[in-house]
Amino acid sequence: MKLALLSNPNSHNAQTAISQLLSSLKQQTNSQLNIGYIASEPDPQRQYYSQTQMMYQAHNAQLSVYLELESGFCETSLNALLKCDAIHLSGGDTFRFLKALKQHKLLPVLRQYCVNGGGLIGVSAGAMIMTPSIASAPLCGDSNDCQLDDLTGLNLVDFMFVPHATDKQLEQPQQPKFAHPICFCPDDTALLSLSDQLKVLGHLVWQKS
C-alpha cells in the first residue's frame, strides 16, 4: 500500500513523504497525477481545500475533486474521487470525521481503494483514521463530542497515531495502554509506507501496547 501519515503537512519531512509517495504513483501513469480530497468537516469557503490545492500544485499534481461528507455529500464526487491516483484525508475533528465516513459506509470503500493501488495521504485526524482505532485522539486534544461509539479506523497500519506530539509526550511519560503500539509524531516528522515498508522521516517515539 502507498500511505503517508502526516502531523503537519507543511513541514519539510511531510513534504518529502508526499513527494516520494507521488513519485511512486507516477510510475503507474504517464499523465499528471490527479488527487482527491475528503473534508473532515464542512469547509464552505473551501479555505483548507484551496491551500491544499496549492500544495499539490507545487508537486506538479492536480487536486480537483472535493468530497463533502455532511450536508453537501455528492455521489458524483465520490465516484470521481475513487478514480483519482491518491486521496487526501484532511485534518480536523477526528471523531466527527470518522463518524461521517462510517455513516456513508466509506471505510471498506477506502480500504479497497488502497488495495487496488491508490495512494492515501492522511493529515493529523486523517492520519489517525488510517490506523486500527482513533482511541488515541484525546492524547492530542480531541474530544468525542459527537458521541461516536465505534472508534475503529481503516486499519491500514498496525499501530495507532498521535499527531502534534509534545516534548512531554516524546519524553515518554506513562500514557494509557492501548491494544496497539502508539506512534507519537511531532509536527516535523512524517511516516511513509510503500510496499509495506515503513519509513520514518524525522524523529518520533513509539509506545508498546
- Residue 173: which pLDDT band, with cuts at 50, 70 and 90? low
3-class DSSP state of 198:
strand
What pTM did the predictor assign? Answer: 0.94
Which has more pLDDT, 170 or 160? 160
Q: In sequence order, what DSSP letters do the residues of 134-172 get, joined into one string? A: -TTGGGGT---TT-----B----SSSEEEES--HHHHT-
Percent of the chain scored above 70 by pLDDT?
Answer: 97
Cα–Cα dist 45/23, whole Å: 31
More confident residue, 21 or 139: 21
User: Does residue 195 carry a pLDDT above 70?
Assistant: yes
Query: Helix, strand, coil % (nearest 5) of the chain?
Result: 30, 25, 45
Q: 184: which residues sit within 8 A by CB, 6+ positions away?
A: 162, 165, 169, 170, 204, 205, 206, 207
Of 64, 69, 63, give the one whose Cα is nearest residue 39: 69
Residues 6+ apart with CB under 8 A from 95: 134, 137, 142, 143, 144, 145, 146, 148
pLDDT tens sequence across 58-99? 999 999 999 999 888 888 999 999 999 999 999 999 999 999
pLDDT value, residue 45? 86
Q: Which pLDDT score is estimated for 128?
A: 97
Q: What is the pLDDT of residue 169?
A: 79
CB atoms within 10 A of CB 158: 11
How many CB atoms are located within 10 Å of the residue 198 CB? 14
Using alpha carbons, select from 39, 55, 23 the residue that is nearest to residue 93: 39
38-48 pLDDT, tens digit per residue, is 999 888 888 89
3-state secondary structure of 96: helix
Residue 172 has pLDDT above 90, yes or no: no
Which residues are paired to 36 by β-bridges? 65, 87
